Every structure is written in C-alpha cells, then in structure tokens.
C-alpha cells in the first residue's frame, strides 16, 4: 500500500459514542439454551456475557448522537456519514440514510460492508473524504449479529452479539493528530469459511477463521506500522477486533505489543463485528487510556476475509484534551 501523500489535510477524533442493547445474555443463559457451559466459553473465547437486541439504525442513532454531542457539533455541520455494518436493517435503502435522517444531518451517507474490519475501512475512507475537502465526518460501526445467528448452533451462538460505536472526525490543518499509516485487505477465496446468505444465518469454520485471523491481523498491522514509520514498541494502545481473547493474545504476542496495551471489552460485549473496535476504543477513552501524542493502532479482521489497520497519532480533539480555541 503506498504511503499517504505528504501535506494532505489530516484529521483528529473530536467525539466518541457507544451504545449497546439493554438485554444481557450471559453464558449461563446460553448453557440453558444449548449444549455448552460458562467455563468452556470463558476458557475458549474470554466472553462472559453479551448484549442482544435493537436495530442497526436505532443503535447507530444512539452512538452517533453521543459522538456529536461530545464533539459539540450540530448534526447539520457534518459533511458525510459513513456507517460500517454487515447487518443493515434493509437491503435497500442503506441504513445510513435512515440514520442521517434521524440525526437531522444534511449530507451524503453510505454503508460500508467489510464485516468486522468495517469500522477501520470506514475510518480510512473518512480520512480520504477529509483529504478531498470534507471538514467533519461521522463514522459509525454497528452490527446486530443476533438477527443472523442461529441460536441453536453452539459453534457461533456463543460468540456473536449487537452494539454500536461512533467517532466524529474533524479536519486539521496544523499537522496535529494524523492518520500515519493504514492498510486494507480482502481475500475473497476465503469466503466459504465465514458467510451468511441473504436471510440466512452465519456459518463459520471456527478453527480456520482463528488460524487466518491471527496471521492477517499481524500482517495488516505490520504494514500499517511500516507505512507510518513507527515500531510496535512505540504503540501506546492497540485496539483490536474483539472476537476471541486468544486471537488478541496471539496477535499481540506476534506483534511484540504487551497484552496490557490492548483495549478489550469482549468479556461483556461478545463479538459485535463492525462495532467492536469503536466499542473498545470508547471504553479506552472513558478510562483515560488515550492521550494527545499517543500512537494508537487499530486492527481488525473479518469475513471476506478482510483485514484492516490504522496507526493514529492521537490529537487533542476530545473535550477533556482540548487546549482551547478549536
């Protein structure tokens, strides 16, 4: 992947939002529905509970509104809405159109489907729009996987869940912040390992997905790091796709990033696909784990099989970091 051209308009994150449905489904609940156990799920995945319910539009509106409020932005100031989702509420129109309308925005809006890599695909696309002159872009990652999960299939039902996360990106002329490196990948030949027909349930070869996931996450992250010209030990925070704690541990180990630097929420979110990275990023921001100047690595993988990563130099755009005058 060629490096970003020098002197392009860059961007910083100025607001964030998250939302999850109210209904909590614990491992114990699942054990009453199928032949599984709390201990097996925790040991093999790290997941204790997950949230299910709601619609893609409803969850997106909630996280999007929160992000706009925190950024202190009127929805009408947004120049584009990018909604990453694998589970739109309808085939047509795109769910982003309904989100745009409900949030009271007047701008272009489109869905991006890159499965669990979708949020990073959306974030990179938003940076491209900003390089082309957009000033403010809302990026949302939302999935309602419960609707395409077979709740009698223990191979998949213990993993998937629903949620949403959003960020506001604002252009910066001063060189602060910045997307330093990015990488997007897809391998259509791997389709058979993870897919859902329209109107059908997710089918997955878990072992094969696991094996490929670690490899493509590490490969994508290394390409972004190389493009950014930084080494893994300079990374302050890694925000990986929240599929399985063992995948995250293996990827961190191969990258040479201590697991303590990983943002993880999967223990109580499960795998929320496009929402998983912004949910984990939001939790890290809430916990004051991100500060101006930090190098943050986002990295995801998903059906496709896709992979995506981005290295960000964190700016001072969040309300509690603002030095004033923005």
Chain residues 150-169 in contact with ligand ACO, contact rule CB under 6 A: 154-155, 158-159
Q: Which is nearer to ligand ACO, 118 or 282 (CB)?
A: 118
Query: The sheet that has 237-240: what strands, in order across it?
Result: 179-186, 306-313, 295-302, 237-240
Specify the residue, 142 or 227, whose C-beta has the smaller distance to ligand ACO: 142
Of 183, 241, 244, 252, catalytic: 241
Indicate which single residue of 125, 223, 227, 273 sits in contact with ligand ACO (rule: CB under 6 A): 273
Look up 271 and say whether it is catalytic: yes
- How many whole angstroms separate alpha carbon 255 and alpha carbon 249? 10
Segment interacting with ligand ACO (CB under 6 A) among 71-79, 203-211, 219-227, 249-257: 203-211
Helix (H, G, I), strand (E, B) or coil at 295: strand
Question: Which of residues 53, 108, 206, 292 is near ligand ACO by CB under 6 A?
Answer: 206
Catalytic residue among 116, 127, 183, 252: 116
Residue 105, φ and ψ in degrees, nearest 5: -95, 155
Contact present, 137 and 126 (Cβ < 8 Å)? yes
CB atoms within 10 A of CB 246: 15
244 lies in the binding site for ligand ACO (CB under 6 A): yes
Residue 66 host element (H or E): helix 56-71
Phi-psi region of 278 (alpha: psi -120 to 50; beta: other; left: phi over 0): alpha
In the shown chain, the binding pattern of residues 32 to 71 toward ligand ACO, with x for contact by CB under 6 A and - for none, equals: ----x---x---xx--------------------------
Paired with 80 in beta bridges are: 108, 137
Binding residues (CB under 6 A) for ligand ACO: these are 36, 40, 44-45, 115-116, 154-155, 158-159, 194, 204, 206-207, 209-210, 213, 243-244, 271, 273, 302-303
Catalytic (active-site) positions: 116, 241, 271
């Amino acid at each position: 992947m060629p490096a970003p051209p020098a002197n392009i308009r860059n961007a910083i994150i100025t607001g964030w939002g998250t939302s999850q449905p109210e209904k909590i489904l614990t491992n114990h609940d699942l054990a009453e529905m199928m032949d599984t156990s709390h201990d097996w799920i925790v040991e093999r995945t790290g997941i204790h509970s997950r949230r299910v319910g709601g619609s893609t539009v409803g969850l997106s509106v909630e996280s999007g509104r929160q992000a706009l409020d925190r950024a202190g932005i009127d929805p009408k100031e947004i120049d584009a809405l990018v909604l990453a989702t694998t589970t739109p509420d309808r085939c047509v129109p795109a769910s982003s159109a309904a989100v745009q309308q409900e949030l009271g925005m007047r701008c272009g809006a489109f869905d991006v489907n890159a499965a669990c890599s979708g949020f990073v695909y959306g974030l990179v696309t938003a940076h491209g729009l900003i390089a082309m002159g957009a000033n403010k872009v809302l990026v949302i990652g939302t999935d309602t996987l419960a609707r395409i999960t077979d709740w009698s299939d223990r191979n998949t039902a213990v993993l998937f869940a629903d949620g949403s996360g959003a960020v506001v990106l604002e252009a910066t002329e001063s060189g602060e912040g910045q997307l330093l490196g990015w990488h997007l990948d897809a391998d259509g030949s791997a389709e058979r390992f993870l897919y859902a027909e329209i109107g059908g349930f997710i089918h997955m070869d878990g072992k094969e997905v696991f094996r490929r996931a670690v490899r493509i996450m590490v490969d994508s992250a290394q390409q972004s790091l190389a493009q950014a010209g930084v080494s893994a030990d300079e990374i302050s925070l890694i925000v990986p796709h929240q599929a399985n704690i063992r995948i995250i541990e293996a990827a961190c180990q191969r990258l040479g990033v201590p697991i303590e630097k990983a943002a993880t929420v999967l223990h109580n979110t499960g795998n929320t696909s496009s929402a998983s990275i912004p949910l984990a990023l939001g939790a890290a921001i809430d916990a004051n784990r991100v500060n101006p100047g930090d190098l943050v690595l986002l990295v995801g993988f998903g059906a496709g099989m896709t992979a995506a990563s981005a290295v960000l130099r964190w700016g001072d755009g969040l309300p509690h970091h603002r030095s004033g005058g923005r």
